[in-house]
Structure 1
Amino acid sequence: MTASIAFTLNGRHRVLPPGILPGMTLLDWLRAPVAEGGAALRGTKEGCAEGDCGACTVVLEEADGGRVPVNACLALLGQMHGRAIRTVEGLADGTPHAVQRAMAEADATQCGFCTPGIVMSAWAHARQKAHPGGGDAHEALAGNLCRCTGYRPILEVFEALADDGTLPPPLPPAASAEFAASGQVFHRPATLAEALALRAAHPGAWLLAGGTDLGLRVSEHRETPPRILALGGVAELQALSVEAERLVIGAGVPYGRLLDALQGLEDLRPLDAYLRRLGSRQIRGMGTLGGNLGTASPIGDALPPLLALDAAVVLASAGGERILPVAAFLTGYRRTALAADEIIRAVVLPRPPPGAILACEKLSKRHDQDISTVSAAFLLRLESDRVTAARLCFGGMAATAARAPHAEAVLAGAAWSEAGFDAAAAALAQDFTPLADWRGSAEYRLRGAQGLLRRLYWRVARPDLRLEVQG
């Protein structure tokens, strides 16, 4: 165990003195007058403190050369142990970096508040665009809001940039660590056995995966939990395997890595497109499937596809493992079947059977970077133009993501027809009594869910039709 947080910052190895609160946000630490030899690094801005605006974007440099943009307002300082971090100050070496020059020359900056975060996203994108699925400039920019500049010149910069070839700095060793300060203890185990022992000893500790949900309680609500069990350094939770009939996804695998694994899997292409709307690249760089399951939010984007594909959760404790279907794991509003001594080790995601129809849908106030009002995932099997099996799963319609048994019963065995889907959509009123909140009324949610189900028919029957409008 070590008592000091150590990481590489802008190419320079840093060992922080004891006494720094490990559960503070990386953003707060960077902007304090202790970050870089006594000088604050205030190029990283605080905009929303929610991971929405991207003004706080920094980049994690991976040992394999990858660059992962993340929100410094949600990342906790203890999570950075053993990582390499690059801020906007770390790009320039006496003169502006090529990204910064390109932004200025394209008139892509006005007040400049959002520009440092945009620059960091662009620097990461210049390397990512060379990889499959990484070349979309709009997607790379979706996590950065600019309040006063048109996006056209910014997108042109993103599209024109080339990788600068900068090699990643050496990463400090990331052994098991424990940090304590001001009444807070932050555990960062490196093995599953260590994590399970700590979980059994401290069942009340925060279980921290990526932190894109729990981080809000620190950044917005300024909570200081007495004990945090951070799982990002547990090697076993980072395992990811793609098999002929299933994917086995470690609970600590970030969505960005999962999307890389989905490239080329034609049967899961709808899931790939859907997950690219889950937050932004910054959120997907830290957020995990295990964390989405653990929070059990009724609007958790990943949950309807897991239900539709009949995924299972592998739960581990010091006494062994057990496997539960996702449907049994979710027990209510932000409640799960996770025992006090267990953690989520992996998610087993079956691949669709040959010939099955998979669709994943999301209704939100804006296309990118927004929380779902209603989400849905559908898995259907057809034989001779007749539906032989249907799994219709929705989020945002009840206290937890759930299937629609009445609608499924109407559709299963019915002929593939517009009338059949209309009848199934009408049956959704028996399956759900949605709540109303500021994202949508109960009527809107029900009608939206019905529209998504009807649209499934037209997606398959008339693939030539334009069935949605994107700005």
Structure 2
Amino acid sequence: MDTKTIRFMRRGELISLGNVPPERTLLELLREDLGATGTKEGCGEGDCGACTVVLAEPDGGRLRWRAVNSCIRLAHSIDGMALWTVEDLAAADGALHPAQEAMVRCHGSQCGFCTPGFVMSLFGMYQNHVCRGEPVTRALAQEELSGNLCRCTGYRPILDAAQQMEQLPPARIDEAALLARLQALAGQPTAPSTLAYLAPESLPELLAARAAHPQAQVVAGCTDVGLWVTKQHRQFGQVLDVTRARELRRIEEYPHHVAIGAAVTLTDAFAALVAQRPSLKTFASRFAGLPVRNAGTLGGNIANGSPIGDSMPLLIALDAQLVLMREGGHRHLALEDFYTGYRQTVLAPDELVAWILVPRPQPAEFLRAYKISKRYDDDISAVCLVLRLELQDGAVARIGVGAGGVAATPVRAARTEAFLAGKPWTAETVRAAADVLRGEFQPITDMRASSAYRSQVLGNLLQRFWLESQGTTGINLEQFSLEEVDA
């Protein structure tokens, strides 16, 4: 089967590459095909950040800049975009970019292996904030450098470098000219849809491709399928990429819900949810590192069906619904009804997840999302529990409980919800409900936690939820902040 020619902008020039297998990663393309060995391979699974690059693509009449992991990004997915690696930042005369110069001045590099990834995340920060006149605060730097690990523990000088970039002579990219070139590239004829990597640009075309090629491997952000390539060495005869369908890249507001397209990145999807429910901000920022959230999609996380995917317990607690589409029809169902077993779903061979419908918050809603993991940042949950409560006259009027990491699929704690419905919201009620919740599931023991630990934590989190509903503070890490003091 033929492969589509990949076309992208790099260093102001158009790069065209043919005969690229559909499962080839962007990191392999850079290091092996283009000789761009400044981009490093560390973990090969999107955890360490050594392979970070920056992509830019047109978005509503401007450029959208995203730092992403090249190790789990399929090479074909950057067709039509602009790419920057660490080799592309210095000026023609050798002058360093502020992201590089700041690292030098602040002594932000020790062994140096992680440095290219940090520099690229700094470059993305520079384009998204410094170039738009926005200050880089310590908190912003810490959030946007997430997903980059330094084994020499040199984080303080790297954070210093992030804040010093704006004090250095500016380095400007002519975004208008680049945008025009990318738009012209998008207007050029594309190859026919019989190729190994299919990336339809409209929803009707996508559904037609799904019907015609049910055997194709469906991909979105590839943050999980990419692991199949790097860790399991899988090869795909044909890939169907949903992220180019323009309809599925939208977030639409309605009176009673927000509709999030399946191809919306996790970064944008969580931003929309946080805008409506600010209490979710910390939970959203703990969903992997920023490069993973910049690439991964909400639809992909749901369709993947992992029992430890953090978005599903949240959406279950919020009573979210899915819209599944095929050529000539669609159907709605509650998110918890989408799963039939471990990584198994109700999707027919010609269906795709198209939209996620999330109800708007109610005025009296009290919501908390808890993620328990060995590391606070950039780690997979041992237990995820999300609770949404509405009270009326001191009794439980509505309760939503979504859980992850405690069963073969993400689940709704239906027995616990039924137990709490209509009961007075008291410490005694919650203690009894905690026992119900602990007994509702039979979690496994694995490398992240034992079965007994998971069960105990479920009940403990419900009790924490009750304490927070009573105004108790200072009982979790979200409410603490570290301040630097001079010695």
TM-score bucket of the superposed structures, by smaller chain: over 0.9
Once the two structures are TM-superposed, the CA of residue 148 in structure 1 deviates from its matched residue by 1.1
In structure 2, the CA distance between the partners of 1:177 and 1:353, relative to structure 1 (3 Å rule), is farther
Are positions 1:125 and 2:125 aligned together? yes
Q: Write the letter of the residue equivalent to 1:89.
A: E
C-alpha spacing 1:454/1:263, structure 2 compared with 1 (3 Å) = closer
Structure 1 residue 410: deviation in Å?
Answer: 2.7
Counterpart for residue 164 of structure 2: 160
Equivalent-residue separation in structure 2 for 1:295 and 1:283 (angstroms) = 15
Q: Which whole-Å deviations, capped at 9, do the CAs of 1:411-436 have from their partners, x for residues lacking one?
A: 22222222221111111133101111
- What is the CA-CA distance between 1:177 and the residue it aligns to? 4.5
Question: Compared with structure 1, are the counterparts of its residues 401 and 158 closer, same or farther at alpha carbon in structure 2 (3 Å cutoff)?
Answer: same
Once the two structures are TM-superposed, the CA of residue 30 in structure 1 deviates from its matched residue by 0.3
1:314 match: secondary structure: strand
Question: Who is 1:69 aligned against?
Answer: 67
Q: Match for residue 186 of structure 2?
A: 173
- 2:26 — aligned with what? 26
Structure with the higher fraction of residues in helix conformation: 2
Contact 1:7 1:83 in 2 (8 A): yes
Which runs of structure 2 are paired with 1:191-270 in the superposition (5 Å)? Answer: 191-262=202-273, 264-265=275-276, 268-270=277-279
Aligned pairs (5 A) from 1:241-320 = 241-262=252-273, 264-265=275-276, 268-320=277-329
Once the two structures are overlaid, the 10-residue window that deviates more, 191-200 or 339-348, is 191-200
Q: Is 1:417 aligned to 2:421, yes or no?
A: no
Once the two structures are superposed, residues 381-427 of structure 1 have per-residue CA deviations (whole angstroms, 9 ceiling, x without a partner) of 10122212211110011011111222223322222222221111111
- Distance in 2, matches of 1:255 and 1:3, equals 27
SS state at 1:66 partner: strand
Q: Report the CA distance shift for 1:457/1:344 in structure 2 as closer, same or farther (over 3 A).
A: same
Q: Distance in 2 between the 1:383 and 1:213 partners?
A: 42
For residues 295-444 of structure 1, the aligned pairs below 5 Å read: 295-444=304-453
Q: CA RMSD in A?
A: 2.2
Structure 1 274/218 Cα, relative in aligned 2: closer, same or farther at 3 Å? same
Q: Is the 8 A contact 1:71 1:283 kept in 2?
A: yes
The Cα of 1:134 is off from its aligned counterpart by 8.7
Q: 1:371 to 1:320 in 2, by over 3 A?
A: same
CA contact (8 A) 2:221 2:297 kept: yes
Q: Is the 8 A contact 1:406 1:428 kept in 2?
A: yes
Helix, strand or coil at the partner of 1:324:
strand
**Equivalent in the alignment of 2:77:** 79
> Partner of 2:11 in structure 1?
10
Measure the CA separation in 1 of the matches of 2:305 and 2:385: 16
* Contact 2:136 2:163 (C-alpha < 8 Å) held by counterparts: no
1:60 corresponds to 2:55 = yes
For 1:140 and 1:300, locate their aligned partners in 2 and report how far apart those are by CA, in whole Å.
21
Superposed CA offset, 1:413-460 (max 9, x none): 222222221111111133101111101000111111111111101112
> Structure 1's 410 and 468: CA in aligned 2 closer, same or farther, altered over 3 A?
farther
The two structures have a TM-score, normalised by structure 1, of: 0.93
- In the alignment, the residues of structure 2 paired with residue 460 and residue 165 of structure 1 have an alpha-carbon distance, to the nearest angstrom, of 48
| 1:269-320 CA distance string (max 9 Å, x none) | 2333322111111001110110011111101110011111111111111121
DSSP-derived class of the 1:85 partner: strand
Looking at structure 2, the residues matched to 411 and 355 of structure 1 have their Cα atoms a distance apart, in angstroms, of 17
Give the conservation status (yes or no) of the 8 Å contact 2:219–2:225.
yes
Larger mean CA deviation between 126-135 and 334-343 belongs to 126-135
Equivalent pair of 1:78/1:179 in contact (CA under 8 Å): no
CA-CA distance at 1:167 after TM superposition: 3.4
Using structure 2 for the length normalisation, give the TM-score: 0.90
Measured in 1, the distance between the counterparts of 2:283 and 2:5 equals: 40
The equivalent of 1:92 in structure 2 is: 90
Of 71-80 and 414-423, the range deviating more from structure 2? 414-423
User: Which range is displaced more, 211-220 or 412-421?
Assistant: 412-421
Identity fraction in percent: 39
Counterpart contact for 1:309–1:349, Cα < 8 Å: yes
Q: How many residues align?
A: 460
- Equivalent residue letter for 1:231: V
Query: In 2 relative to 1, CA 463–119 (structure 1 residues): closer, same or farther, beyond 3 Å?
Result: same
The answer on whether the counterparts of 1:22 and 1:179 sit within 8 Å (CA) in structure 2 is no
Give the secondary-structure state (helix, strand or coil) at the position aligned to 2:386: strand
CA distance in 2, matches of 1:426, 1:263: 31
Q: Which residue number in structure 2 is paired with residue 43 of structure 1?
A: 38
Q: Distance in 2 between matches of 1:380 and 1:75?
A: 39
Structure 1 range deviating more: 247-256 or 188-197: 188-197
Answer yes or no: is 1:462 the counterpart of 2:471: yes
The Cα offsets for residues 39-94 of structure 1, whole Å up to 9 and x where unpaired, read as: x1111000000000000000011332332000000110111111111111110122
Contact 2:4 2:196 (C-alpha < 8 Å) held by counterparts: no
Q: CA deviation at 1:15?
A: 1.2
Are the counterparts in 2 of residues 66 and 127 from structure 1 also a CA contact under 8 Å?
A: no
Q: Give the Cα separation in 2 of the matches to 1:238 and 1:176.
A: 20
Partner amino acid for 2:312?
Answer: L
CA distance in 1, matches of 2:429, 2:191: 58
**Residues 38 and 116 of structure 2 are in contact (CA less than 8 Å); yes or no, is this contact kept in structure 1?**
yes
Match of 2:155 among 151, 155, 158: 151
Aligned to 2:485: none
SS in 2 for 1:62: strand
1:140 corresponds in structure 2 to 144
**Deviation by residue 1:125-181 (Cα, 9 ceiling, x = unmatched):** 12334689996111111110011142111111112323744234232317655698x
Secondary structure at 1:328's aligned position in 2? helix
**8 Å CA contact retained: 1:59, 1:120:** yes
CA gap of 1:134–1:327, structure 2 versus 1, over 3 A, is farther
Aligned-partner Cα distance in 2 for 1:58–1:248: 30
Q: What residue ranges of structure 2 are gaps of 5+ in the alignment?
A: 483-487
Contact 2:102 2:164 in 1 (8 A): no
